[in-house]
Structure 1
């Protein structure tokens, strides 16, 4: 497996499943880390949740586990525990997504792992912090979306309490686990000191949602409710045109002035001439713009707005991204071919001038690398029971 990138040489023992943890370690693998995915004999459930080229290789699983190596261990057995112990002895990172009590019962909580490798970075991916009363509650993306206020602000926006059409909590929490782990690695690089890191989905999404929605509720006394009124204005939606819809944001005073001069809508008024005035009546502004956009076609609006330098975009389907001119021009997609055929992966969104990452391989079949990993790891009997 040809590894390159800023994390080349970093060894990660990945005991995560589903999406939050695997998405975090997928990025580590893309950036050059040797990620060893530890799976139980029945495999990560995500292997079976969507269509794929073969059984146990669902599209979601293949994407978030690309570039990793898979080893099957029964961690309930003495042999499995001993194998994991040996793997941890020369690891840089141990990351898991088990509940706190469960990982402790297995004998791989932080004190136990730090005794094996004192300078290890140990990352816990939880639903809720173990430091609070909700520790060890089960959590999934849908329940966290509801609990963090995301479904509430969707209701303010659309009139119905809805989930967003993306597993947003899983992915945001996964990226948070990534940056937290990298910060701990940076600290270790400077000091030689390992440490334990904890990332809770609920705490992550509460922080994420309150970036803008904390708003007036942060102050004492409060100056307003905990929501950003522009984001939840009912008329904030893609604009309907003569033949479809487009997205556009005529936001700052420069863009507003350019748009008014070019279009001269009948409702043009000094009442909306500044950002502060528009912000105070933002839902009304969106409604007026919505009526104006019905007067021309999508192509006409996109051409005009592009000429004026006003942010605007067509409403793409997710399928359209695979044929997007910009993404293809920058080489965003990477095709990996193996015995199962070709997979066109959504690529690495970041760019490094000295140490670019690379999708090193597709996702592994369950346990595909068990023997190779055991053979490469000093002190492990390659005939060890694997469940």
Structure 2
């Protein structure tokens, strides 16, 4: 099948590992780009971190590296560096997740790469930006979650300083690397100029957290602490019903008036009649609604909220998503034949009328494409032909 995505025709040389960078380039592959994943002889560590059909093909690795080509190069060797330079000559994007000192020591800092291909977009995926004092510190999702304030707001919400149950820093930073890289490609399309791009996990997650939590702390003088009170109200949690749980947000005045009119709870009061008033008493409001939600079953509430057009949902598990009728109706999941058997991927969540993306193919076994890619470059494993 021909590549039809909006990035069809682009070649990406991918030296990223773990999740942040690979998630970025996975989406680029889904959108039509040819992504050549350059791995050391031992492979990306993510190959080995979770269950998989064969060693080196963990589920996490398979998902974020689908549709890519794997080339094994030892960049400590002359032949390995020569092969990477040959790849760079033909590339549109060079993306890596090494620390600045490490990539420079190998001879592939931005100036080195731009000397080979001046029009290239060169994306650095770092833990911390190079202009700050933490530039040489290692970083992982857990430590970035801690530094950006996620456990602090979780403690306000639940009483425990917890991480959130997903690798949110890796994924948000990966999405940021994607949009930053494609913006640089758009600039190149208009001007012909390549450039260097830096995406740091810490700065990304600080910005992400402060979208709503900057709040009163943004102003001079401050009007309050850096927190959005609704999100950390202790009573903000799924509601317990007569037979289970339910998520619902009776938020704007239209929804509130419809709920009060249909249910007529004894605690209804003008004190909570407007969104502004409810915002000042939000934890109390959540607690009062919780009392009322316990009076009916989940199905009864879903039926009523459906009639009133109030946002509400059952609590799903990640397993349940594979059987979700809406997700299957829109075709989110794509089953791909692989050497290890069929794999059902969560596919492309966006829709394009002219240039739709798709899961390009299976994830590669370590070095599966080395010989083919080197041959395309006129090289062999031992150097030039």
TM-score above 0.5, yes or no:
yes
| Equivalent residue number for residue 194 of structure 1 | 194
Tell me the residue number matched to 1:11: 11
Q: Where in structure 2 are the equivalents of 1:7-46 lying within 5 Å? A: 7-46=7-46
- Aligned residue for 1:174? 174
Report the CA distance between 1:338 and its aligned residue: 2.3
SS state at 1:225 partner: coil
Corresponding residue for residue 281 of structure 2: 281
Task: Encode CA deviations 1:70-124: one digit per residue, 9 max, x unaligned.
Answer: 0000000011000000000010000000000000000000000000000100000
* Residues 1:93 and 1:193: Cα distance change in structure 2 (over 3 Å): same
Partners of 2:265 and 2:355 lie apart in 1 by: 51
Q: Aligned partners of 1:27, 1:136: CA distance in 2, in Å? A: 28
Task: Provide, for residues 11-31 of structure 1, a one-character-per-residue CA deviation record: whole Å limited to 9, x for no partner.
Answer: 000000000000000000000
Once residues 338 and 28 of structure 2 are traced to their aligned partners in structure 1, the CA distance between those partners, rounded to angstroms, is 21
- Give 2:52's aligned residue: 52
1:220 matched residue in structure 2: 220
Q: Which residue of 2 aligns with 1:70?
A: 70
* Alpha-carbon distance between aligned partners in 2 of 1:250 and 1:136, rounded to the nearest angstrom: 46
1:273-311 CA distance string (max 9 Å, x none): 001110000000000001110000000001100110000
* C-alpha contact (below 8 Å) 1:336/1:343 kept by paired residues: yes
- In the TM superposition, residue 367 of structure 1 has moved relative to its aligned partner by 0.2
Give the drift of 1:381: 2.2
Q: In structure 1, how many angstroms separate the alpha carbons of the residues matched to 2:45 and 2:146?
A: 23
CA distance in 2, matches of 1:135, 1:349: 34
1:254 aligns with 254
| Contact 1:46-1:60 within 8 A present in 2 as well | yes
Shift of 1:241: 0.3
Task: Specify the alignment match of 1:370 in structure 2.
Answer: 370
Aligned residues: 384
Query: Is 1:229 paired with 2:235?
Result: no
Match of 1:383 in 2: 381
Query: What is the distance in 1 between the residues matched to 2:224 and 2:186?
Result: 39
C-alpha distance in 2, partners of 1:309/1:247? 14
Deviations 1:27-63 (A, max 9, x none): 0000000000000000000000000111100000000
Contact map agreement 1:2 1:360 (CA 8 A) in 2: no
Native 8 Å contact 1:123 1:181 kept in 2: yes
Aligned equivalents of 2:230, 2:297: Cα separation in 1? 26
Shift of 1:384: 2.2
Match of 2:265 in 1: 265
Q: Map residues 336-351 of structure 1 onto 2, 5 A cutoff.
A: 336-351=336-351
Question: Which consecutive unaligned segments of at least 5 residues does structure 1 have?
Answer: none
Which residue in the other structure is 1:302 paired with?
A: 302
Displacement of 1:184 in angstroms is 0.1
Alpha-carbon separation, structure 1, partners of 2:6 and 2:239: 42
1:151 is displaced (CA, Å) by 0.8
Native 8 Å contact 1:249 1:310 kept in 2:
yes
Q: CA deviation at 1:2?
A: 4.4
Structure 2 counterpart of 1:121: 121
> Aligned equivalents of 2:319 and 2:381: distance in 1?
46
Q: Give the deviation of 1:358 after TM superposition.
A: 1.1
CA distance in 1, matches of 2:2, 2:335: 15
Whole-angstrom distance in 1 between the partners of 2:4 and 2:338: 19
Q: Is residue 94 of structure 1 aligned with residue 98 of structure 2?
A: no
CA positional deviation for 1:339: 2.2
Q: Over aligned residue pairs, what C-alpha RMSD do you find?
A: 1.0
Mark the runs of 5 or more structure 2 residues left unpaired by the alignment: none
- The answer for the alignment partner of 1:325 in structure 2 is 325
